[in-house]
Amino acid sequence: MYQWRKFDFFEDKYGGKSSIPDEISGKIECSSSGRGKVVIGCNDGTVSFLDRGLNFNSGFQSHSSSVLFLQQLKQRNFLLTVGEDEQLASHQSAMCLKVFDLDKPSQQQEGTSSAAATPDSIGILRIFTNNFPEAKITSFLVLEEAPPILLIAIGLDNGCIYCIKGDIARERIQRFKLQVDNASNKSQLPVTGLGFRVDGQTLQLFAVTPDSSQQADAAATAEVLRKYGDHLYSKQDYDEAMAQYINTIGHLEPSYVIQKFLDAQRIHNLTNYLENLHEKGLASKDHTTLLLNCYTKLKDVEKLNAGDHEWYLKILLEDLGRYDEALEYISSLDSSQAGVTVKEYGRHSGDEKEIQDLRTNARSSSSASVLLALSPLIFQRSISCACTLSINVALGIMRKNARNVLPTTDQSLRMKRTWSRTPKIRTVSSNRLRAQKMGFL
């Protein structure tokens, strides 16, 4: 029976009391910090200030009921709270936004201590109106712009974000709302987190939903695995590095990994990565080409036979121009697979006029190297004629056609020079060019 061992990675250190101060009687609902203090809001409507040692410093009653959210500002000594108060009218919502100036305490009543003094409330807003229907508040964030302007974002459980911008103390504000949709099924998801980003003159607001947080967690995990893989790669621990990179598939650009292992000439690791890329259905045509050529480089006949015959023949014919190897490969297949392959490539009959022109200037020959000098059109025409026959008969017809269209020696040389000078226009990735230079293609 196995026994688990416990390892302590962190050491507990307390800056003060580890328990909640006795002066706080309500249930803690929210908190913030700034200017050397921790601010706590409770379900009884109170707000409390703690020092760095988590000792009670002061407190006041901010709302008649629960304090749901609060934020201590950095530039100005303001505290913003969101909570429930008494309804002044039946059609009004009890949810209020309040702004307190902590540098201006209100007039202290006789007989009360300074710790119970309430700071000056410089602004009160009803969050929900006729144009901004009530919903459950799930997130809250304040951005300080040029004083006295504040930008307040309030996230709701229906996917809406209510925004309030302006000078709240003077009630010079504007309201607008944003809608966050679930990209997968257009359903409404609660906005559980908010974030502002200021880039020059551009202001961006980020919203977090349960769906986006799951994606963010997966992306963050992939980034950690990538960095650990890079570390192992720098130590030349290629096998373990590849194990990390494989776990990033779907998040990390494949070319990042492929380039590393092409540079290191680690064909076994590269093959492993490409296989996993195909298993997850994320491989492109270039990835397939590179994988088949890795198999060829490794002389892995079993995987080649079990692989994609169509792609392999496309590589031989369209990319490499190795027509003799294509014929030999087809002849090595079993009869059923060979028949399928022949039918696939028999769909293109070629240019009849070009074939007729070749026949006009041809003479018969039995040279074994004939297939190396033939145009791909002859190969295609031969397969087209033989698409319903067995592979052995098909190869015989190909060779017969080759003998019937073989040019003279001088013509053959001229044709070879022409074909060698004819550019083949392709769009290839940088990784594919790198692979060609290293002999993979």
Q: What residue segments make up the domains of the chain, in order of their start?
A: 28-106+115-214, 298-441
Name the 3-class secondary structure at 155: strand
Specify the pTM.
0.50
User: What pLDDT does residue 18 have?
Assistant: 61
What confidence tier does 293 reach under pLDDT thresholds 50, 70, 90? confident
Res 422 pLDDT > 80: no
Q: Is 48 left (phi over 0), alpha (psi -120 to 50) or beta?
A: beta
Measured distance CA(197)–CA(289) in Å, rounded: 43
Give whichever of 98-112, 151-165, 291-305 has the largest mean pLDDT: 151-165
In this predicted structure, the answer to whether residue 328 has a pLDDT above a threshold of 50 is yes
Higher pLDDT, 335 or 279: 279
Alpha helices by DSSP H, listed for 26-110, are none
> Given the structure tokens 């590589």, which residue do they identify?
315
pLDDT in tens, 96-148: 999 999 998 765 544 445 556 789 999 999 999 999 999 999 999 999 998 88
pLDDT at 430: 52
Instruction: Give domain 28-106+115-214's CATH superfamily.
Output: YVTN repeat-like/Quinoprotein amine dehydrogenase (2.130.10.10)
**CA 4, chain centre distance (Å):** 36
Residue with tokens 């190897």: 325
Q: Which of 46-50, 362-366, 380-384 has the lowest mean pLDDT?
A: 362-366
Q: What is the pLDDT of residue 354?
A: 40
First-to-final CA distance of the chain: 53
- Give the 3-state secondary structure of 354-410: HHHHHHHCECCCCCCCHHHHCCHHHHHHHHHHCCCCCHHHHHHHHHHHHHHCCECHH
